[in-house]
Amino acid sequence: MRTSTYFRASGTALAVALLSACGGGSSADPAHLDATAAAARCADLAGGAGLADTTLTPQYVPAGTRRAGGAATGDFLGGYCVVTGAMNPRTGVDGHHYQIGFQLSLPDDWNGRFLYVGGGGNDGTLRDTTAALGGGLTSPVAQGYAVVSTDAGHQTTLAADFGGDPQARIDHAYNAHDKAAVAAKTIIARRYQKSAAKSYFQGCSGGGRQGMMFSQRFPDYFDGIVAMAPAQRVSSGATVAAMWNNIQFTNAAPLDGNGKPILSQALSSADLQLVATAVTNACDAADGAADGMVNNFKACTFNPAVLQCSGAKTATCLTSTQVTALQNVFGGPHNSSGQALYPGQPWDPGIASAGWRAWTLGTSTTATPNSLYNLLMSDALRNEFFTPPDPGFDILKFNFDTDPQRMEAFSQVYDTYRDTKLSAFQAHGGKLLFVHGLADPIFSPLDTRDYYEKLAASNGGIAATQSFARAFFVPGMNHCSGGPATDSFDALQAVVDWVEKGQAPDSIKATALATSAYFPNRTRPLCPYPKFAKYKGTGSLEDAANFTCESS
């Protein structure tokens, strides 16, 4: 099948025809109606809100109640309407049913803002739009935002078998997101009798890629975007790295009675803690404080060879095979000519945390691995990222000279790392925040750093680029959250203040929750790259007030 045919999108984007008036009859401000009137307006949306080929199912949730499967009641100050939508139903070339699903929550007490929350993984499910955007934060719906999410055009989650349908690929890449954003804005205008004053996006992982996609393909849709751990090269480089890492660790794994490798035992939890402690000892103090966090990651140089056993393996050293695996993983994948295919990873104490293990090694005690490299990433590679799909592909036989070429066609459609100018987004006045954990084992923070530096090179340098885009790196944080990190922070409010008040974030206050196993209640400033949080020299190491953002 020719690539040009395989990736041809069907139809055109829905027209953004925001409605200035609708039925209902109340003379009160429709953004602040009483419960009876708000419930009536919610029910009115069942008519379809003027959207073609769309079915809407609204449900009104009065104040003080909880919708089944929704966020905790205590988050909400009032009632809200949740609309479940299905657009463009069809039968794919694979014989499966497809539709673009979305969920939109509309609070009675609306603040005039629209928020699109991104998905993740292979998508396929509707994210709860009443949920908070992180631990310790308040639900955006409770703050008055109208919030939408989408399943990206298919209804399977871990499996990526939708990749056999060309239109499903297009929907997953961008088309479903375009349609969901347009539909949400149309419904918002009908419900509140006016369009949103400001529109925002926040997502992590695949959601971070979606945010970058909007800044490039639909640059006037959002005023502010938060792209966390963006999967900007997931259909090429990051998945290549996942295959590379999986092979390195599998080669280091002990064998079971049948001669099969037990991946999870390539490095024990004690081994990873040994590495984490050595990284801490080598790099922690470069930020002025021995506090268990490597803030100045650019100054961190570490080689696990210092841990190699001189004799038999003990609890205080690593085997040469383990050392080699770590060196190869953190060095990044390359082909037989030595050409780098994706950045490696920065050394960070977060290597010892459960989130790092979940992606790389898993916990299976048998020769059947359960790491996310083997589950999520392998399925995406076989069914979506390869063109054409190759469902029976053995990921341990990935060829780093030839197989990346099989991923290039879809990368051109799906990946978001090529546009390093963002001219149209800038012209729109958009603001962009990148946030990335330094112990992310799937999407390297060094890839985000490299993209940001290219963005700066295309826009007159760091200072000029910081007028519209800033990058923040979170020491210790695994993929999107977790790890020995201050991983609770309100990036959405930071971008809102930037858009609406002109207050560019010179730092973002981050907290480790009271339940943290590492640094309960610790606070730190997240600093815009290339600055990092440096200890002032006096005061508690648990208090952000005693740190300042400085360059190396």
For residue 138, CA distances in Å to 76, 135, 173, 427, 472 come to: 9, 9, 30, 32, 21
Are residues 98 and 123 in contact, defined by beta-carbon separation less than 8 angstroms? no
CA distance 12 to 461: 37
Which DSSP helix (H) or strand (E) runs through 31?
none
Token pair in block for residue 173: 């890449």
Alpha carbons 445 and 227: distance in angstroms, whole number: 12
If you write DSSP's letter for every residue of 204-219 in order, what string do you get? ETHHHHHHHHHHHHST
The residues annotated with a catalytic role in the active site are 205, 440, 479
- Report the residue count for the chain: 552
- Separation between Cα atoms, residue 172 and residue 156, nearest integer Å: 12
H-helix or E-strand containing 8? none
Tally helices (H) and strands (E) across the chain.
16, 14
227 within 8 A of 432, measured Cβ to Cβ: yes
Residue 314's SS3 state is coil
Neighbours of 315 (CB within 10 A): 8
Q: Report the amino acid identity of residue 330.
A: F
344 neighbors 444 (Cβ within 8 angstroms): yes
Rounded Cα gap, residues 201 and 443, in angstroms: 20
What is the spatial distance between Cα 249 and Cα 244, in angstroms, rounded to a whole number? 9
Residue type at 12?
A: T
Q: Which residue reads 């400001």 in tokens?
A: 198
DSSP-based three-state secondary structure for 83: strand
DSSP H or E segment with residue 481: none
Residues contacting 493, CB < 8 A, separation 6+: none
Nearest to 152 by CA among 107, 213, 243: 213
